Structure 1
Amino acid sequence: MSQALIAMRDGQDAEAEPLLRALADEFPGFVSPRLNLGILLLRGNQAEAAETALRQVLQIDAENSVARHQLAILLRRQGRFQEALTVYTKLLEGKPDHALAHRNLGILYDLYLDKPRQALAHYKQFAALSADGEQETKMWIAELKRRIGAGEKLAAEVK
Protein backbone atom coordinates (compact mmCIF):
# COMPACT_ATOMS: atom_id res chain seq x y z
CA MET A 1 0.00 0.00 0.00
CA SER A 2 2.79 2.40 0.84
CA GLN A 3 4.36 1.85 -2.60
CA ALA A 4 1.07 2.66 -4.27
CA LEU A 5 0.58 5.81 -2.19
CA ILE A 6 4.10 7.00 -2.89
CA ALA A 7 3.58 6.40 -6.61
CA MET A 8 0.28 8.33 -6.47
CA ARG A 9 1.91 11.18 -4.60
CA ASP A 10 4.70 11.33 -7.17
CA GLY A 11 2.28 11.33 -10.09
CA GLN A 12 3.26 7.83 -11.20
CA ASP A 13 -0.31 6.71 -11.76
CA ALA A 14 0.62 3.95 -14.21
CA GLU A 15 2.72 2.36 -11.47
CA ALA A 16 0.17 2.91 -8.70
CA GLU A 17 -2.90 1.56 -10.49
CA PRO A 18 -1.89 -2.13 -10.74
CA LEU A 19 -0.68 -2.09 -7.14
CA LEU A 20 -4.02 -0.70 -5.94
CA ARG A 21 -6.01 -3.13 -8.10
CA ALA A 22 -4.04 -6.08 -6.71
CA LEU A 23 -4.57 -4.91 -3.14
CA ALA A 24 -8.28 -4.32 -3.74
CA ASP A 25 -8.61 -7.83 -5.15
CA GLU A 26 -6.56 -9.43 -2.37
CA PHE A 27 -8.33 -7.55 0.43
CA PRO A 28 -11.90 -6.96 -0.81
CA GLY A 29 -13.15 -5.78 2.58
CA PHE A 30 -10.51 -3.08 2.97
CA VAL A 31 -11.51 0.44 2.02
CA SER A 32 -8.14 2.10 1.46
CA PRO A 33 -6.94 0.34 -1.72
CA ARG A 34 -10.30 0.70 -3.44
CA LEU A 35 -10.76 4.31 -2.31
CA ASN A 36 -7.33 5.31 -3.56
CA LEU A 37 -7.98 3.44 -6.80
CA GLY A 38 -11.18 5.43 -7.26
CA ILE A 39 -9.34 8.70 -6.64
CA LEU A 40 -6.58 7.68 -9.04
CA LEU A 41 -9.07 6.72 -11.74
CA LEU A 42 -11.01 9.94 -11.28
CA ARG A 43 -7.77 11.90 -11.56
CA GLY A 44 -7.06 10.00 -14.78
CA ASN A 45 -10.51 10.82 -16.23
CA GLN A 46 -11.61 7.18 -16.15
CA ALA A 47 -15.05 8.11 -14.90
CA GLU A 48 -16.85 4.80 -15.25
CA ALA A 49 -14.13 2.80 -13.50
CA ALA A 50 -13.75 5.50 -10.83
CA GLU A 51 -17.48 5.47 -10.14
CA THR A 52 -17.44 1.68 -9.80
CA ALA A 53 -14.54 1.80 -7.34
CA LEU A 54 -16.09 4.60 -5.27
CA ARG A 55 -19.48 2.88 -5.12
CA GLN A 56 -17.72 -0.31 -3.99
CA VAL A 57 -16.12 1.67 -1.16
CA LEU A 58 -19.57 2.87 -0.13
CA GLN A 59 -20.83 -0.72 -0.12
CA ILE A 60 -18.07 -1.54 2.38
CA ASP A 61 -18.36 1.70 4.37
CA ALA A 62 -21.62 3.51 3.63
CA GLU A 63 -20.56 6.59 5.59
CA ASN A 64 -17.13 7.08 4.00
CA SER A 65 -17.01 10.84 3.50
CA VAL A 66 -14.01 10.80 1.17
CA ALA A 67 -15.69 8.33 -1.19
CA ARG A 68 -18.94 10.31 -1.09
CA HIS A 69 -17.11 13.55 -1.82
CA GLN A 70 -15.16 12.08 -4.72
CA LEU A 71 -18.31 10.46 -6.12
CA ALA A 72 -20.19 13.76 -5.97
CA ILE A 73 -17.36 15.51 -7.82
CA LEU A 74 -17.43 12.79 -10.48
CA LEU A 75 -21.20 13.07 -10.88
CA ARG A 76 -21.03 16.86 -11.17
CA ARG A 77 -18.32 16.61 -13.84
CA GLN A 78 -20.54 14.21 -15.79
CA GLY A 79 -23.46 16.63 -15.68
CA ARG A 80 -25.43 14.39 -13.33
CA PHE A 81 -26.28 17.34 -11.13
CA GLN A 82 -29.26 15.95 -9.22
CA GLU A 83 -27.32 12.80 -8.35
CA ALA A 84 -24.40 14.93 -7.20
CA LEU A 85 -26.77 17.01 -5.08
CA THR A 86 -28.13 13.86 -3.45
CA VAL A 87 -24.62 12.58 -2.66
CA TYR A 88 -23.49 15.94 -1.24
CA THR A 89 -26.65 16.20 0.87
CA LYS A 90 -26.15 12.70 2.27
CA LEU A 91 -22.49 13.47 2.99
CA LEU A 92 -23.34 16.66 4.88
CA GLU A 93 -26.09 14.93 6.86
CA GLY A 94 -23.48 12.62 8.31
CA LYS A 95 -20.62 15.08 8.41
CA PRO A 96 -21.90 18.68 8.55
CA ASP A 97 -18.39 20.04 9.16
CA HIS A 98 -16.97 18.72 5.86
CA ALA A 99 -15.64 22.04 4.54
CA LEU A 100 -14.84 20.91 1.00
CA ALA A 101 -18.28 19.38 0.58
CA HIS A 102 -19.79 22.78 1.44
CA ARG A 103 -17.48 24.46 -1.08
CA ASN A 104 -18.27 22.02 -3.85
CA LEU A 105 -21.98 21.99 -3.09
CA GLY A 106 -21.84 25.78 -3.31
CA ILE A 107 -20.25 25.44 -6.74
CA LEU A 108 -22.95 22.99 -7.80
CA TYR A 109 -25.74 25.32 -6.67
CA ASP A 110 -24.05 28.41 -8.10
CA LEU A 111 -22.79 27.31 -11.49
CA TYR A 112 -24.97 24.35 -12.40
CA LEU A 113 -28.32 24.61 -10.61
CA ASP A 114 -28.71 28.43 -10.62
CA LYS A 115 -29.61 28.59 -6.96
CA PRO A 116 -27.54 31.50 -5.64
CA ARG A 117 -29.09 31.62 -2.16
CA GLN A 118 -28.24 27.98 -1.50
CA ALA A 119 -24.79 28.51 -2.97
CA LEU A 120 -24.22 31.50 -0.71
CA ALA A 121 -25.16 29.51 2.39
CA HIS A 122 -22.66 26.77 1.54
CA TYR A 123 -19.88 29.20 0.59
CA LYS A 124 -20.38 30.91 3.95
CA GLN A 125 -20.28 27.57 5.72
CA PHE A 126 -17.08 26.67 3.87
CA ALA A 127 -15.51 30.00 4.85
CA ALA A 128 -16.47 29.42 8.49
CA LEU A 129 -15.02 25.89 8.50
CA SER A 130 -11.81 26.48 6.56
CA ALA A 131 -8.84 27.63 8.53
CA ASP A 132 -7.40 29.92 5.90
CA GLY A 133 -10.62 31.78 5.01
CA GLU A 134 -9.75 31.57 1.33
CA GLN A 135 -9.73 34.87 -0.53
CA GLU A 136 -11.41 33.23 -3.53
CA THR A 137 -14.36 32.18 -1.37
CA LYS A 138 -14.71 35.69 -0.01
CA MET A 139 -14.92 36.95 -3.59
CA TRP A 140 -17.55 34.31 -4.44
CA ILE A 141 -19.60 35.36 -1.42
CA ALA A 142 -19.40 39.04 -2.36
CA GLU A 143 -20.35 38.28 -5.98
CA LEU A 144 -23.33 36.15 -4.95
CA LYS A 145 -24.56 38.82 -2.55
CA ARG A 146 -24.31 41.34 -5.39
CA ARG A 147 -26.21 39.06 -7.80
CA ILE A 148 -28.91 38.25 -5.25
CA GLY A 149 -29.31 41.94 -4.43
CA ALA A 150 -29.52 42.86 -8.12
CA GLY A 151 -32.13 40.15 -8.66
CA GLU A 152 -34.23 41.37 -5.76
CA LYS A 153 -33.99 44.96 -7.01
CA LEU A 154 -35.09 43.91 -10.48
CA ALA A 155 -37.99 41.88 -9.08
CA ALA A 156 -39.15 44.89 -7.03
CA GLU A 157 -39.01 47.13 -10.13
CA VAL A 158 -41.08 44.65 -12.14
CA LYS A 159 -43.84 44.64 -9.50
Structure 2
Amino acid sequence: MSYIKSNLSITLNITLVIILLMTISACSNQVTSNQPAVTKQTAESSIEELQIYKNAIVALNNNELAKAEKLFISMSERQPNIAGSWANLALISIKQDNLAQAEVYAKTALEKNPNMPQALNLSGYLAQKKGAINIAKSYYLQAISHKSDYALAHYNLALVYDVYLQDIAKAIEHYQFYLAYSKTKDENTENWLEGLKATMAANNS
Protein backbone atom coordinates (compact mmCIF):
# COMPACT_ATOMS: atom_id res chain seq x y z
CA MET A 1 0.00 0.00 0.00
CA SER A 2 1.29 3.45 -0.86
CA TYR A 3 1.38 6.09 1.84
CA ILE A 4 1.36 9.59 0.34
CA LYS A 5 1.61 12.60 2.59
CA SER A 6 -1.13 15.14 1.99
CA ASN A 7 -1.21 17.32 5.08
CA LEU A 8 2.37 16.78 6.26
CA SER A 9 5.01 18.22 3.98
CA ILE A 10 7.91 15.91 3.19
CA THR A 11 10.64 18.15 4.54
CA LEU A 12 13.88 16.94 6.02
CA ASN A 13 14.95 18.61 9.21
CA ILE A 14 18.32 20.27 9.55
CA THR A 15 19.39 22.53 12.35
CA LEU A 16 22.02 24.87 13.64
CA VAL A 17 25.01 23.17 15.16
CA ILE A 18 25.72 25.09 18.33
CA ILE A 19 28.92 23.78 19.83
CA LEU A 20 30.42 25.25 22.97
CA LEU A 21 34.11 25.78 22.46
CA MET A 22 35.12 24.29 25.78
CA THR A 23 38.56 23.38 24.50
CA ILE A 24 39.20 26.98 23.51
CA SER A 25 38.31 28.55 26.82
CA ALA A 26 39.65 25.82 29.12
CA CYS A 27 42.06 27.06 31.73
CA SER A 28 43.98 25.50 34.60
CA ASN A 29 45.29 26.88 37.86
CA GLN A 30 48.21 24.46 37.87
CA VAL A 31 50.98 23.96 35.37
CA THR A 32 52.58 20.55 34.88
CA SER A 33 55.53 19.50 32.76
CA ASN A 34 53.26 18.39 29.90
CA GLN A 35 50.70 21.21 30.12
CA PRO A 36 51.66 24.65 28.82
CA ALA A 37 50.76 27.71 30.84
CA VAL A 38 47.73 29.69 29.70
CA THR A 39 49.16 33.12 28.93
CA LYS A 40 47.22 36.36 28.85
CA GLN A 41 47.58 36.42 25.07
CA THR A 42 46.20 32.87 24.80
CA ALA A 43 43.24 33.71 27.05
CA GLU A 44 42.44 36.83 25.04
CA SER A 45 42.64 34.82 21.81
CA SER A 46 40.26 32.22 23.26
CA ILE A 47 37.73 34.89 24.24
CA GLU A 48 37.99 36.45 20.79
CA GLU A 49 37.41 33.10 19.06
CA LEU A 50 34.44 32.30 21.26
CA GLN A 51 32.91 35.67 20.34
CA ILE A 52 33.47 35.02 16.64
CA TYR A 53 31.68 31.69 17.00
CA LYS A 54 28.77 33.23 18.89
CA ASN A 55 28.45 35.98 16.26
CA ALA A 56 28.44 33.32 13.55
CA ILE A 57 25.61 31.43 15.25
CA VAL A 58 23.57 34.65 15.60
CA ALA A 59 24.11 35.47 11.92
CA LEU A 60 23.05 31.96 10.91
CA ASN A 61 19.97 32.21 13.13
CA ASN A 62 19.10 35.46 11.37
CA ASN A 63 19.66 33.82 7.97
CA GLU A 64 22.54 36.20 7.23
CA LEU A 65 24.28 33.45 5.32
CA ALA A 66 27.16 35.40 3.79
CA LYS A 67 28.11 36.88 7.15
CA ALA A 68 27.78 33.54 8.95
CA GLU A 69 29.84 31.80 6.28
CA LYS A 70 32.65 34.33 6.57
CA LEU A 71 32.75 33.99 10.37
CA PHE A 72 32.69 30.18 10.34
CA ILE A 73 35.44 30.10 7.72
CA SER A 74 37.47 32.35 10.02
CA MET A 75 36.83 29.94 12.90
CA SER A 76 37.74 26.92 10.79
CA GLU A 77 41.07 28.58 10.01
CA ARG A 78 41.72 29.48 13.65
CA GLN A 79 40.52 26.16 15.08
CA PRO A 80 40.49 23.62 12.23
CA ASN A 81 39.77 20.67 14.54
CA ILE A 82 36.48 22.12 15.83
CA ALA A 83 33.85 20.05 13.99
CA GLY A 84 31.06 22.52 14.69
CA SER A 85 32.44 25.13 12.32
CA TRP A 86 32.58 22.63 9.46
CA ALA A 87 29.08 21.31 10.20
CA ASN A 88 27.65 24.81 10.21
CA LEU A 89 29.43 25.56 6.93
CA ALA A 90 27.73 22.45 5.53
CA LEU A 91 24.37 23.76 6.75
CA ILE A 92 25.00 27.15 5.13
CA SER A 93 25.91 25.47 1.85
CA ILE A 94 22.66 23.47 2.00
CA LYS A 95 20.72 26.69 2.53
CA GLN A 96 22.54 28.12 -0.48
CA ASP A 97 21.60 25.04 -2.57
CA ASN A 98 25.26 24.17 -2.98
CA LEU A 99 24.99 20.50 -2.05
CA ALA A 100 28.37 19.51 -3.51
CA GLN A 101 30.15 21.98 -1.22
CA ALA A 102 27.93 20.91 1.69
CA GLU A 103 29.13 17.33 1.22
CA VAL A 104 32.77 18.46 1.45
CA TYR A 105 32.10 20.37 4.67
CA ALA A 106 30.02 17.58 6.21
CA LYS A 107 32.73 15.05 5.42
CA THR A 108 35.33 17.31 7.06
CA ALA A 109 33.14 17.69 10.15
CA LEU A 110 32.92 13.90 10.50
CA GLU A 111 36.67 13.57 10.01
CA LYS A 112 37.12 15.92 12.97
CA ASN A 113 34.42 14.21 15.04
CA PRO A 114 32.97 10.95 13.62
CA ASN A 115 30.38 10.79 16.41
CA MET A 116 28.92 14.28 15.99
CA PRO A 117 25.12 13.81 15.78
CA GLN A 118 24.49 17.04 13.89
CA ALA A 119 27.10 16.24 11.23
CA LEU A 120 25.65 12.73 10.89
CA ASN A 121 22.15 14.18 10.47
CA LEU A 122 23.41 16.59 7.80
CA SER A 123 25.18 13.74 6.00
CA GLY A 124 21.95 11.76 6.08
CA TYR A 125 20.10 14.71 4.62
CA LEU A 126 22.61 15.01 1.79
CA ALA A 127 22.48 11.26 1.08
CA GLN A 128 18.70 11.35 1.02
CA LYS A 129 18.67 14.27 -1.41
CA LYS A 130 20.78 12.10 -3.75
CA GLY A 131 18.35 9.21 -3.41
CA ALA A 132 20.73 7.06 -1.36
CA ILE A 133 18.02 6.09 1.10
CA ASN A 134 19.75 3.24 2.92
CA ILE A 135 22.88 5.34 3.41
CA ALA A 136 20.72 8.16 4.74
CA LYS A 137 19.02 5.74 7.13
CA SER A 138 22.41 4.59 8.36
CA TYR A 139 23.52 8.16 9.09
CA TYR A 140 20.29 8.94 10.97
CA LEU A 141 20.60 5.76 13.03
CA GLN A 142 24.18 6.70 13.90
CA ALA A 143 23.04 10.20 14.90
CA ILE A 144 20.47 8.91 17.38
CA SER A 145 22.88 6.25 18.65
CA HIS A 146 25.11 9.09 19.86
CA LYS A 147 22.24 11.36 20.92
CA SER A 148 19.12 9.36 21.65
CA ASP A 149 16.96 12.47 22.19
CA TYR A 150 17.94 14.11 18.88
CA ALA A 151 14.44 15.01 17.71
CA LEU A 152 15.35 16.11 14.18
CA ALA A 153 17.20 12.90 13.36
CA HIS A 154 14.22 10.89 14.64
CA TYR A 155 11.95 12.90 12.35
CA ASN A 156 14.17 12.37 9.32
CA LEU A 157 14.39 8.66 10.11
CA ALA A 158 10.60 8.49 10.44
CA LEU A 159 10.29 10.01 6.97
CA VAL A 160 12.66 7.42 5.53
CA TYR A 161 10.63 4.57 7.01
CA ASP A 162 7.31 6.21 6.12
CA VAL A 163 7.80 7.51 2.59
CA TYR A 164 10.58 5.37 1.15
CA LEU A 165 10.75 2.04 2.98
CA GLN A 166 7.03 1.67 3.75
CA ASP A 167 7.82 0.40 7.26
CA ILE A 168 4.95 2.15 9.00
CA ALA A 169 5.55 0.57 12.40
CA LYS A 170 9.09 1.98 12.46
CA ALA A 171 7.85 5.32 11.12
CA ILE A 172 5.32 5.57 13.95
CA GLU A 173 8.02 4.75 16.49
CA HIS A 174 10.31 7.54 15.33
CA TYR A 175 7.53 10.10 14.84
CA GLN A 176 6.66 9.44 18.49
CA PHE A 177 10.26 9.95 19.56
CA TYR A 178 10.41 13.15 17.52
CA LEU A 179 7.27 14.55 19.18
CA ALA A 180 8.47 13.49 22.63
CA TYR A 181 11.87 15.16 22.26
CA SER A 182 10.89 18.19 20.18
CA LYS A 183 10.89 21.51 22.01
CA THR A 184 8.09 22.90 19.85
CA LYS A 185 4.58 21.61 19.23
CA ASP A 186 4.03 20.13 15.76
CA GLU A 187 0.32 19.64 15.15
CA ASN A 188 0.79 18.54 11.53
CA THR A 189 3.01 15.65 12.57
CA GLU A 190 0.69 14.79 15.47
CA ASN A 191 -2.26 14.57 13.08
CA TRP A 192 -0.27 12.58 10.53
CA LEU A 193 0.85 10.16 13.24
CA GLU A 194 -2.74 9.55 14.34
CA GLY A 195 -3.66 8.83 10.72
CA LEU A 196 -0.82 6.32 10.40
CA LYS A 197 -1.88 4.60 13.61
CA ALA A 198 -5.46 4.34 12.39
CA THR A 199 -4.35 2.95 9.02
CA MET A 200 -2.11 0.36 10.61
CA ALA A 201 -4.83 -0.69 13.06
CA ALA A 202 -7.30 -1.09 10.18
CA ASN A 203 -4.81 -3.18 8.19
CA ASN A 204 -4.16 -5.43 11.20
CA SER A 205 -7.81 -5.96 12.09
Q: TM-score, normalised by structure 2?
A: 0.67
Name the structure 1 match of 2:103.
Answer: 51
Give 1:135 shift: 1.8
Cα offset, 1:27, TM superposition: 2.5
Q: Which one-letter code corresponds to 2:121 in the other structure?
A: H
Q: Hey, what does 1:156 align to over in structure 2? A: none
CA distance in 1, matches of 2:188, 2:179: 10
- Partner Cα separation in structure 1 for residue 143 and residue 69 of structure 2: 27
Please give the secondary structure, in 1, of the residue aligned with 2:166.
Answer: coil
Give the distance between the partners of 1:95 and 1:8, measured in 2 at CA: 23
Amino acid at match of 2:201: G
Please tell me whether Structure 1 or Structure 2 has the larger radius of gyration of its CA atoms: 2
- Contact residue 110 and residue 116 of structure 2 kept, 8 A: yes
Aligned-partner Cα distance in 1 for 2:193–2:64: 37
What residue ranges of structure 1 are gaps of 5+ in the alignment? 154-159
Higher helix share: 1
Letter in 2 for 1:14: A
Query: Is contact 1:100-1:126 (8 Å) kept?
Result: yes
Higher relative contact order (Cα pairs below 8 Å, separated by 6+ residues): 2
SS at match of 1:45: coil
Counterpart position of 2:8 = none
Paired residue total: 153
* Structure 1 residue matching 2:192: 3-state secondary structure: helix
Deviation at 1:79, TM superposition (A): 1.6
Does the C-alpha gap of structure 1 residues 57 and 152 become closer, same or farther in structure 2, counting only changes over 3 Å? same
CA contact (8 A) 2:118 2:143 kept: no
1:8-157 alignment, distance < 5 Å: 8-153=60-205
8 A contact 1:123–1:140 mirrored in 2? no
1:64-86 Cα distance to aligned partner (Å, 9 max, x none) = 11111122122222221111100
Contact 1:127 1:134 (C-alpha < 8 Å) held by counterparts: yes
CA positional deviation for 1:52: 1.3
Residue segments in structure 2 that go unaligned for 5+ positions in a row: 1-51
8 Å CA contact retained: 2:117, 2:142: no
Instruction: Name the CA distance, whole Å, in 2 between partners of 1:61 and 1:104.
Output: 21
Kept in 1: contact 2:116–2:146 (CA 8 A): no
**Structure 1's 9 and 130: CA in aligned 2 closer, same or farther, altered over 3 A?**
closer
